């Protein structure tokens, strides 16, 4: 069966996460309905990652197997036509070999977290950024974040409902910088624990406002205890921005 790799963009606010949730709205279910509308096929797509409720994506990757070979541009355009008016777009479709797997072939997943750091709340970006009123020291956050890079036991930054077999993960990148009124955080790893990025971001924000310092963040990591985690950041500002193969 011809296999297609799809790069997907979506606003996560209307959905109960990416993964199909029965009758609850999900990104996966919407894309699968679009496939059904396009070519009449019932299928279960495979995705690079399962984003939580309210989390967005600019570079999610999925693959689908179709009974008939179509031009990739036709697949992209037809799915987008059937996704109207949902906030989901197929940015790119490409025919791939049958050994390609959106999840298991991935070598790295990249996330971006956007924090709007000003007194006034967001108007145009409401639901797409985390609004933090107190001034954040992005340089201090970046310096502290380097303690997270490498192979560690991330139990402190792991949701209690996480189903991963091990808390051991290798974080390849943790960067924090300021762009105007936004403080942005970038993380890259082959895989992440459930809510790991939001947990790390919330703790780094504690450094940014001056309640923690770099040693406090390192101590939280080394505690290997969920109770040592700072407040978990909301889903609003989190984006899956890319998957590397």
Residues marked active site are found at 52
Distance separating alpha carbons of residues 243 and 159, to the nearest angstrom: 22
| Cβ(108)–Cβ(215) below 8 Å | no
Residue owning tokens 């279960």: 44
The residues, any chain, with a CB within 8 Å of residue 74's CB and separated by 6 or more, are none
Q: Which two tokens stand for residue 17?
A: 């996460």
- Comparing CA positions, the residue from 30, 22, 44, 42 lying closest to residue 79 is 30
Read off the DSSP letter of residue 176. Answer: E
- Comparing CA positions, the residue from 65, 126, 50, 57 lying closest to residue 98 is 65
């Amino acid at each position: 069966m011809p296999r297609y790799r799809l790069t997907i963009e979506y606003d996560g606010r209307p959905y109960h996460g990416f993964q199909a949730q029965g009758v609850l709205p999900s990104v996966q279910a919407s894309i699968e309905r679009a496939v059904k509308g396009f070519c009449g096929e019932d299928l279960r797509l495979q995705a690079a990652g399962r984003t939580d409720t309210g989390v967005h994506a600019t570079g999610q990757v999925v693959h689908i197997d179709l009974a008939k070979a179509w031009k990739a541009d036709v697949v992209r355009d037809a799915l987008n036509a059937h996704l109207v008016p949902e906030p989901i777009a197929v940015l790119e479709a490409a025919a791939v070999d049958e050994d390609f797997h959106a999840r298991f072939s991935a070598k790295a997943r990249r996330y971006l977290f956007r924090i709007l750091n000003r007194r006034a709340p967001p108007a145009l970006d409401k639901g797409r950024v985390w609004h933090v009123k107190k001034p954040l020291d992005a340089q201090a956050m970046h310096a502290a974040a380097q303690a997270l890079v490498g192979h560690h036991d991330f139990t402190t930054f792991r949701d209690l409902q996480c189903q991963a077999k091990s808390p051991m993960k290798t974080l390849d990148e943790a960067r924090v910088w300021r762009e105007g009124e936004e403080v942005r955080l970038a993380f890259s790893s082959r895989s992440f624990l459930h809510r790991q990025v939001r947990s790390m971001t919330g703790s780094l924000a504690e450094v940014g406002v001056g309640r923690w310092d770099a040693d406090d963040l390192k101590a939280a990591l080394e505690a290997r205890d969920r109770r040592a985690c700072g407040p978990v950041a909301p889903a609003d500002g989190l984006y899956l921005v890319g998957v590397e193969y």
